[in-house]
Amino acid sequence: MDGSSMSQTRPQTPVGVTPPPTPPIPLTELLARTELGLRRIAGPPEAELLWVHTSEMADPYPYLLGGELLLSAGVLLKDPDAYVSRLVEAGAAALGFGVTPVFDTVPGALIEACDRHGLPLVEVPPRTRFTAIARAVWRLMAEARHRELRRVTRAQQALASAAARPDPVPAVLHQLAAQLEGRAVLLSADGEELHAAGRPPAPDVGEGLTRLARVVSTATRPAPAPASATDTVRGAHLSAYALGGGQGLVLALATERRSAGDHTVAGVAVVLLSLLAAPHQGADAAGRSAALVRLLLGAAPEDVAPLLGGTEEWTVVHARRADDGPVDPLTAGALGAALGSALVDAGRGRDAVRVLTPGGERITPQPGWTLGASAPAAITALEAADGQASRALGRAAATRAPLARHRADTGSGLAALVPPDRAEAHARALLAPLTEPLAETLRCWLSLHGSWDRTATALRVHRNTVRQRIARCAVLLDADLDDMDVRTELWFALRTR
């Protein structure tokens, strides 16, 4: 029997990599190694081993860290009850007792003491060396570590993919809940549930999450607050993480179990959510905020234009989810950040998100979104640009294009032959019988070459509604809308309007 001590260092990892801690090894996995011939003869069947230690001291308590499988042949065993009591007090996970050369069998008093104190007792046969047991444990730990690293890597990849979705915040939470097999909740500074994923917990567990979130929230603890906190309620493992960005947001988790790599996975989610939820900050953010305040206080748009960082033209973008799903403020903010602007209307009470971006060259298609962009406009012409973006979004939806831009009149062609004032007067007179909804329906219908379905998609109404409105236009205008000459004249008037 080899009684040499084993080092308690953990397996080395590559430089620059911060992997999750090594998971503990279930005692049952070690007992399943039939070549060792180990047999549990006392104490509970379940235990988790963090490492192996060999000692023949009468009281090894001062040299134990907790979680060990302590191996001993009982050289100085005098009082089994006191010996086991000290092992339990030190946090040992299990005791492996080697028979021969000191004892031919495991002492009955030791078996009784382990049962009494709840310490698993494993019989080590004479042919099994302690070093073989230690080697088996380290091998099991290495295998568990590799499994955990692979799990964490897969989770990181899944979370990164979720962050690239058009609804990144709920997508990340959904993926996090799936990876940890639990509940993931994003809470605001005042405790409001902004997003949640996973099966709802029991009421007392949910209350525990809210209480734990207050511990890390910078809104409730202006003094330095912990970055994370953990708790356990009715067997559920709770954890809360403060998000960066100074907004007081908290990620709260509830899981049925807690694995070694869960903290690493949650940390990745915290970083992603902090970036997604953080407000877009440009170098001229203060100037734009000042411009907004002055506009709200009644200043003329042309007077606040100099505060906008030298931006002379703006583009209005209207956006809808490609799947027509709902849009929350955080998702809308992520779209604005992707378009390079923090000026976002999340669409409460509207059917589209609106983003005001400087210039217009940077507008590009965004995965999962349908966009309509206005022509670049001065700050004094944003109302007209808003209408352009709305119509462009309708055209993009009708043609199933990810992005449509307003087709501005270039001032050339046949339209340039008619003086603007006469063209406007003619348009007013020709279209006078039509209400605004009818005129907009007619314009959209003509722009889409008379397609009922595409017009219905663009206007987000039923195709029968389009037919009724176009028929009403024909009656009010007393015109044959199937006549190409009539269509051409109406199109000219509608574009001039």
Starting at the edge strand that comes first in sequence, how are the strands of the sheet with 353-358 ordered? 344-345, 353-358, 314-321, 369-373, 403-405
CB atoms inside a 10 Å sphere around CB 494? 19
Of 3.30.450.30, 3.90.470.10, 3.30.390.30, 3.30.30.60, the CATH number of 164-277 is 3.30.450.30
User: pLDDT confidence of 117, banded at 50, 70, 90?
Assistant: very high
Of 76-80, 281-285, 415-419, give the lowest mean pLDDT range: 281-285
Q: What percent of the chain shows pLDDT beyond 70? A: 84
Could you tell me the residue ranges of all domains in the chain? 25-143, 164-277, 285-405, 414-496
Residue 9 CB contacts under 8 Å (≥ 6 apart), including other chains: none
Residue 326: which of 354, 351, 355, 356 has the closest Cα?
Answer: 351
DSSP string covering 274-314, please?
HHHHSPP--TTHHHHHHHHHHHHTT--HHHHGGGSTT---E
pLDDT value of position 221: 54
3-state secondary structure of 36: helix
pLDDT mean over 301-326: 77
- Rounded to the nearest 10 degrees, what angle do helices 329-338 and 262-277 cross at? 70
Instruction: Estimate to the nearest angstrom the gap between the alpha carbon of 413 and the chain centroid.
Output: 51
The residue ranking higher by pLDDT, 335 or 75, is 75
Quote the pLDDT of residue 281: 46
CA-closest candidate to residue 51, choices 133, 118, 152, 120: 133
Q: Helix (H) and strand (E) counts for the chain?
A: 16, 17
pLDDT at 182 (0 to 100): 92
Domain 25-143: state its class.
alpha beta
Name the band, by pLDDT with cuts 50, 70 and 90, for residue 218. low
Name the strand (E) or helix (H) holding 421. Answer: helix 420-431
pLDDT for res 347: 66
| pTM of the predicted protein model | 0.57
* Exposed / middle / buried, residue 369 (Cβ in 10 Å: 0-12, 13-18, 19+): buried
Q: How confident is the model at residue 94 (pLDDT cuts 50, 70, 90)?
A: very high
134, 2 contact by CB (below 8 A): no
User: Does the domain formed by 414-496 have CATH 3.30.420.40?
Assistant: no
| CA–CA distances in Å: residue 114 to residues 30, 74, 82, 441 | 19, 14, 11, 84
User: Which distant-in-sequence residues (6+ apart) come within 8 Å of 261 by Cβ?
Assistant: 20, 23, 148, 149, 151, 152, 155
Q: Mean of the per-residue pLDDT values for the chain?
A: 82
Q: Provide the pairing of β-strand 39-42 with 121-124.
A: antiparallel
